[in-house]
Amino acid sequence: MSKLLRVNMTDLKAAFEEVPEPYRLWGGRGFTSMLTSGEVPPNCHPLGPNNKLTIAPGIVSGTAAPTSGRTSFGGKSPLTGTIKETNVGGLSSQKIARLGIKGIIIEGQPAEAGKFWLLRINKDGAEFLPATDLVGKGMYEVCRTLWERHGKGVAIIGIGPAGEYRLTNAGICVNDPENSAGRYAGRGGMGAVMGSKGLKAIIVDDTGGPGVEIAEKEHFRTAIKKLTEASLKHDVTKKEGALNTYGTNVLANIMNEAGGYPTRNFSGGRFELTGQISGEAVAELVKKRGGVGTTGHPCHPGCIIQCSNIFPYPDGKFHTSVLEYESVWALGANCGIGNLDDIADLVWACNDVGLDTIEAGATIAVAMEGGLLEFGDAQGAKKLIHEDVRGGTPLGRIIGCGAELTGRAFGVVRVPTVKGQAMPAYEPRVVKGIGVTYATTTMGADHTSGYTIAPEILSVGGKADPFNPQKAELSRSFQAATAFIDTSGYCLFDAFAVLDIPEGLAGMVESCAAVLGTKWTVDDIGRIGTEVLKVERAFNAAAGFTKAHDRLPEFMKYEPLPPHNTVFDVPDEDLDKVHAY
Amino acid sequence: MIEVHLYGRLRRLAAQPGVWRPSIAWVALPEGTVAQVIEVLGIGPGDVSNIFVNGCYDQAALGRTVRSGDRIGLFPPEMRMLYV
């Protein structure tokens, strides 16, 4: 039977407990949101003693299901004030699940401010160790040191200095198979929540663990075969397909051609240097420079899509992993920076200091607009992260708290946030459906909450005209389907294949059902996803959020975006229809 | 002139190929269908996966008429992020 691990940071006690019935069928986001809804007061201060950080592998994580190594982190977000779930690949999900743990609940707060601990979890239980010499260290060093001390191959979940300072753009890092600190549950400042608990890192060793119990093994094998076949067949996800060859950053040229690639703080839809920061350019440099450079790299064992990369210095030595679409855009085009080596430095700096790359890039771009530095000033941007945020200077603390706070500090009107969280790399004035998702998701501006880009630009899972403002229904169904996928433990990129190949979708749901011993079919996806959304919406409502918060920033309604010169024209009534269940 | 932006292996047909700058081919037709324009460049329908006309993705773009001043974006099959 799987169990819960409850960790109390006030009295440093960790104990296993039975999984209460209401949580039995949930994993991933479903679990973290149900737990947050059940145990966290919606009006609590996100960095205070009453918030809880909940960690959960997905339903199928730790099994032989392909591309299913996502770990969800949940609680109340200090960036948005809403409920939050942010998930990540890397090593943690499979190992937590194989120890028979459905969820880890971190609660309370150490009496002594500024004191940090490590939590080591293995088959014998959980113990606290002082973090002493790791306090203040960046995540690359933390990962290196913890492998030396606790064995090669253990999973590490940790925070950099940004999390220790409780900055609202601090993410939670998970190491990858090479022990690089490149995987982030970045969004929503959950690293600050971990920091507020006095927890520097969690070490997970699954050696000798019981593994994941599967209720119907034969049914499970059949189901994952269907999903694997779909994934290996689809043009987007197959071996040597677009994601495997170029990584997610294949999208740079595509979104730029579509005129929806936000440039220089969302003041344009095309960046003149996109070619040299695109997935094509990354692939070419990786090949030319050789050494450890890799495309088609898996972020966790068992991924068959392998969209990640290891980007090398000109001499072939490790520079950073991963240069993916959102990070390259945020710290590149959105800041007017068009050099991949500069962008790789910035991604490395965010990974080390412990910042979400999307929010960090959006924040620096807002600061550029506010006159702190010029657009295109890569050296200035590096200094902000390496020196100011890392060193905890007053300026670094502003920058480390995200785009909205920085916009206020510098008197900027063009601040691309919803509910306090910065938008990712799709322009809502061009791709209207993603704008509807940004406005209405429970998470603040977030593309992964309802990736309408798939039908609007990518023509996966049906067709939709990106400029047509009638997108309420499309966004609603994508938000529900996403909530289900985030619960399953499967990577969102599995969706590209399953949205087009019905057997793959069936395989995804049936594999979850086989693990849990339920009779779920594809008809249950919407119901299960909607149940998650309703609980999240109720939490947000109790925390004071209304339909007035389900809106894009005003400038997007009156400032036409070149080259299409369109504005965001989805009527407010349509936004309100998205969650009118 | 019709401005054709080329990606992936189609870049080789540009005046100055390479990923470091836009790979553009100029087609001196006052007017024609997209199919006619790409034929001038020696590109067959099987060599492209996705076509944008003036920044708008169009599944049926090959039959669409374009004029001097229009911009076409062409992606090869191995960049088939846009699934059709």
Summarised one tens digit per residue, pLDDT across range B1-40 is 999 999 999 999 998 888 998 999 999 999 999 999 999 9
Q: Which residues of B touch A250 (CB under 8 A)?
A: 79, 81
Residue B61: closest CA among B29, B34, B23: B34
pLDDT at position A561, please?
98
**Residue A49 Cα, gap to closest chain B Cα (Å):** 45
Q: Which residues of A touch B78 (CB under 8 A)?
A: 240-242, 245
Residue A284 Cα distances to A289, A311, A323, A505, angstroms: 9, 11, 13, 34
Q: Do A257 and B80 lie within an 8 Å CB cutoff?
A: no
Q: Which two tokens stand for residue A35?
A: 């737990």
| Distance (Å, whole) CA A109 – CA A11 | 8
In degrees and rounded to multiples of 5, residue A542 shows phi and psi of -70, -25
- A–B CB contacts, 8 A cutoff, strictly below: 74
Give the HSE-up count for residue A452: Cα atoms under 13 Å, Cβ half-sphere.
33
Confirm if A572 and A549 have CB atoms less than 8 A apart: no
Helix axis angle, A502-516 to A472-488, nearest 10°: 40
Q: Which two tokens stand for residue A408?
A: 């206020």
3-state secondary structure at position A43: coil
pLDDT at position A460, please?
66
Q: Do B21 and A281 lie within an 8 Å CB cutoff?
A: no
pLDDT over 70 at B81, yes or no? no
Q: Which amino acid is at A398?
A: I
Burial classification of residue A17, based on how many CB atoms lie within 10 Å of its CB (0-12 exposed, 13-18 middle, 19 or more buried) = exposed
Mean pLDDT of B47-58: 91
pLDDT tens per residue across span A461-511: 667 888 888 889 889 999 999 999 999 999 998 888 888 899 999 999 999
Q: Which of B22, B56, B82 sits opposite A275 (nearest CB)?
A: B22
Q: Which of A276, A459, A563 sits opposite B20 (nearest CB)?
A: A276
**Residue B28 Cα, gap to closest chain A Cα (Å):** 21
A403 contact partners, CB below 8 Å, separation of at least 6: A359, A362, A363, A365, A366, A415, A416, A417, A422
**Residue A280 Cα, gap to closest chain B Cα (Å):** 7
Q: Which of B19, B20, B55 sits opposite A257 (nearest CB)?
A: B55
In which residue ranges of chain A is pLDDT below 70? 1, 458-462
Helices (H), chain B: 34-40
Q: Which residues of A touch B82 (CB under 8 A)?
A: 254, 457-459
N-terminal to C-terminal alpha carbon distance within chain B: 28
Checking phi first, is residue A544 left (phi over 0); if not, alpha (psi -120 to 50) or beta? left
SS3 string of A260-286? Answer: CCCECCCCECCCCCHHHHCHHHHHHHH
pTM of the complete model: 0.97
A19 contact partners, CB below 8 Å, separation of at least 6: A1, A2, A3, A4, A102, A103
A284 CB within 8 Å of a chain B CB: yes
- Closest-CA residue of chain B to A241: B78
Confirm if A311 and A323 have CB atoms less than 8 A apart: yes
**Residue A473 Cα, gap to closest chain B Cα (Å):** 22
Give the HSE-up count for residue A512: Cα atoms under 13 Å, Cβ half-sphere.
28
Q: Do A258 and B22 lie within an 8 Å CB cutoff?
A: no
Helix axis angle, A472-488 to A28-39, nearest 10°: 90
Q: Do A276 and B82 lie within an 8 Å CB cutoff?
A: no
pLDDT at position B39, please?
96
| Distance (Å, whole) CA B3 – CA B12 | 15
Residue A328 Cα distances to A200, A219, A491, angstroms: 27, 41, 20
Give the containing element (helix H, strand E) for A4: strand A3-8
A453 CB within 8 Å of a chain B CB: no
Chain B residues at the A interface, defined by Cβ less than 8 Å, are 5, 7-8, 19-23, 50, 52, 55-57, 59, 73, 75, 78-84
Confirm if A74 and A83 have CB atoms less than 8 A apart: yes
Residue A487: closest CA among A75, A2, A27: A27
- Closest-CA residue of chain B to A465: B57
Q: Which two tokens stand for residue A420?
A: 């306090």
A463 contact partners, CB below 8 Å, separation of at least 6: A455, B59
**Residue B84 Cα, gap to closest chain A Cα (Å):** 6
- Closest-CA residue of chain B to A257: B55
Q: Which residues of A touch B57 (CB under 8 A)?
A: 258, 457, 459, 466
Checking phi first, is residue A114 left (phi over 0); if not, alpha (psi -120 to 50) or beta? left
Q: Do A242 and B78 lie within an 8 Å CB cutoff?
A: yes
Confirm if B21 and A276 have CB atoms less than 8 A apart: yes
Scanning the structure block, which residue is given the tokens 């663990």? A209
pLDDT over 60 at B83, yes or no? no
Confirm if A36 and A50 have CB atoms less than 8 A apart: no
